[in-house]
Amino acid sequence: MHFQGFFFAEHGLQGDKGGLPIENVPLGLLSSSSTHSVYELSDYPVPALVFSSEASVSNPESKSTLVGAVMHCVDELIKMDVPHNVLMSPQSSGFRLYLIPQTSFIRTDPYEIGPAFPELSGFMIVKGRKSTVI
């Protein structure tokens, strides 16, 4: 397990339009409760579940219920040995957690790496001008 963090201060919370493409994808509602809703991405090349709460991150009851729902899914993915990524995205009211399961990745080259949170969320990492072909 490892953690990656990104903060997009220049994007702010522009009407809940986040700085990553995955944050602007249409959502299809799967279920809803008084504390949170669960969606699926409607039109995105990678499948993902989106757990959303309108309550503040500092609201302990809402946060606990939402994290419990996400962790139930994470536990099942771990039992099935499915690699996954979790992305937390603050919204103007509340927050979203994106759970992105992946297919198993088998390395054929010791320097090869599988896609991680940045690539799956639409953020492109470029080492330098020479490695970019536009």
Domains (ranges, CATH) in the chain?
21-131 (3.30.428)
Helix (H, G, I), strand (E, B) or coil at 84: strand
- List alpha helices for 4-111, DSSP H: 60-79
Tally of CB atoms within 10 A around 23 = 19
d(CA 19, CA 71) in angstroms, rounded, equals 25
Residue 116 confidence (pLDDT) = 67
pLDDT in tens, 4-36: 666 655 544 444 455 788 888 899 999 998 888
Positions in the chain whose pLDDT score sits under 50: 11-16
- What token pair was written down for 129? 């001008």
pLDDT of residue 128: 65
Query: 100, 87 in Cβ contact below 8 A?
Result: yes
